[in-house]
Amino acid sequence: MIFPKIIGYICQKILTLISSQLQHKIYSLIKFMDLYIIEWLNLVVRWIHVITGIAWIGASFFFNWLDSQITPPENPQPKVEGELWMIHSGGFYQLKKTRISPSEIPRVLHWFKWEAYSTWISGIFLLGIVYYTGSGVYLIDSEIADLSYGMAVSISLGTILVSWLIYDFIWASALSEKGWITGMISFLLLFGIIWWFHQWFGSRAAYIHVGAVMGTLMVGNVWRRIIPSQTKLVEAVKAGKTPEASLGIKAKQRSLHNNYMTLPVVFIMISSHFPSTFAHDYNWAILIAIIVIGATVRHFFNLKNKGHLNAWILPVAMAAIIALIYVTKPDATISNSPDTVTFGTEHIPYALVRTILDQRCVSCHSSRPTDDVFRIAPKGIMLDNNERVHALATLIKIHSVTTIAMPLGNKTGMTHEERVILGRWVDEGASIN
């Protein structure tokens, strides 16, 4: 980051005039403030991302519902294809849908594009803040792939870009005329991307990057296909020409793609809070299953909006979720594994647990973290107090033993033996005496 380097240089020149003790304190404050600002940027950008995402997905849901509810007007009008009456917030609304060649363009014409652009831009900034800062601590997992920082970022951005180029090429080609075939090819490519990310990145990062790819496909559809088609429609009407019907068809096709990707993307957005999904041995397969389930549920509502009630879809989707819950159930016997643990049936002493926590966890999770990236305990979890450790024992087991999601990227090198010890200690009652 150029800005922190410039600030650091200026501060260094000033600090040469100050005592060494005060220098140390001021340098510590500057480093803290740098990370503090990044933390606030994370929060603000995430907030913006959620707000704009709600607006974009909400618009997608509304217009797909709207198209299915439009009916021929009771009193036929020239060039009016359909109409819809609604009541909301104390008033009546009448919407009319005209054919693609209205007699004139109204003075005020609302476009729906900035929701998509703002969501993607804030998402890319958030990707950079979370996964590219701190030397890629959230991005790189040396146990999966020993990547340099530059290589990791290159794979991240390169895959996102190439994914859009391949997807757009397929659907802009003659293959798009064969919807089912092209759709299956697209699904296979998406599944390949999921597998690809899991070969390079930590599981949490892999999930988020799949979401980034899907979000890029969605915004690319808006930016490169939907809006240009709508622009040509408007220009044709202004010129007194009859717009090509294919323009509206292609725009509608891409809009429908976006509609089916919404639910999977929303799941991926919240998945980072639930290691039971991304920390599983077959995390890539779980994500594929979730994407299929999400798209299927979206299909149910699309059909329902058109008056086709396929009641069997939701129970099947629920059964699939229950099956996933069963499949991803953690192995309860891990904490009793005999692997190199020499205690047998003996009680696990807390002194040993305390040593493991101090060596593997406390550098981040403490009131005064010493980690080179985290200066504030992630999620406010502090393990430098024994009473607090006892209260958080179950959480420790979930993240460090059951899902093996912590330490992040196993940065501190926690061994399987140590995880077994922690698990057994929790199972024995998590005594701190």
Q: Reply yes or no on whether the pLDDT at 206 is more than 90.
A: yes
DSSP 8-state code for residue 95: E
Highest mean pLDDT pick, 54-68, 342-356, 401-415: 54-68
Handedness of CA 228, 233, 239, 244 (dihedral sign): positive
Report pLDDT for 376. 76
Q: Between these two residues, 13 and 274, which has the higher pLDDT value?
A: 274
Q: If you average pLDDT over residues 374-386, what whole number do you get?
A: 80
Report pLDDT for 343. 56
Confidence tier at 99 by pLDDT (50, 70, 90): low
Q: Reply yes or no on whether the pLDDT at 277 is more than 60.
A: yes
Q: Reply yes or no on whether the pLDDT at 192 is more than 90.
A: yes
Q: If you average pLDDT over residues 202-221, what whole number do you get?
A: 94
Strand partners, 87: 92
Chain segment 304-315, per-residue pLDDT in tens: 888 888 889 999
Report pLDDT for 247. 78
CB proximity list for 334: less than 8 A, separation 6 or greater:
401, 402, 419, 420, 423
DSSP 8-state code for residue 430: -
Chain segment 333-343, per-residue pLDDT in tens: 444 444 445 55
DSSP 8-state code for residue 226: I
Q: If you average pLDDT over residues 346-374, what whole number do you get?
A: 85
Longest dimension (CA), the chain: 88
Burial 129-156 (b: 16+ CB within 10 A, else e): bbbbbbebbbbbbeebeebeeeebbebb
Report pLDDT for 252. 85
Residue with tokens 């980051």: 1
Confidence tier at 370 by pLDDT (50, 70, 90): confident
Report pLDDT for 241. 80
Q: How far is CA 376 from CA 34, 38, 119, 241, 296, in A?
A: 12, 11, 28, 62, 41
Q: How far apart are CA 144 and CA 66, in angstroms?
A: 46
Confidence tier at 213 by pLDDT (50, 70, 90): very high
Q: Between these two residues, 42 and 171, which has the higher pLDDT value?
A: 171
CB proximity list for 134: less than 8 A, separation 6 or greater:
372, 373, 374
Question: Which pTM does this prediction carry?
Answer: 0.77
Report pLDDT for 279. 75
Report pLDDT for 25. 53
DSSP H or E stretch at residue 66: helix 20-69
DSSP H or E stretch at residue 92: strand 91-98
Q: How far apart are CA 297 and CA 353, in angstroms?
A: 45
Confidence tier at 23 by pLDDT (50, 70, 90): very low
Report pLDDT for 332. 47
The alpha helices in 138-244, defined as continuous H runs, are: 149-172, 179-198, 203-220, 227-238
Q: How far apart are CA 24 and CA 249, in angstroms?
A: 65
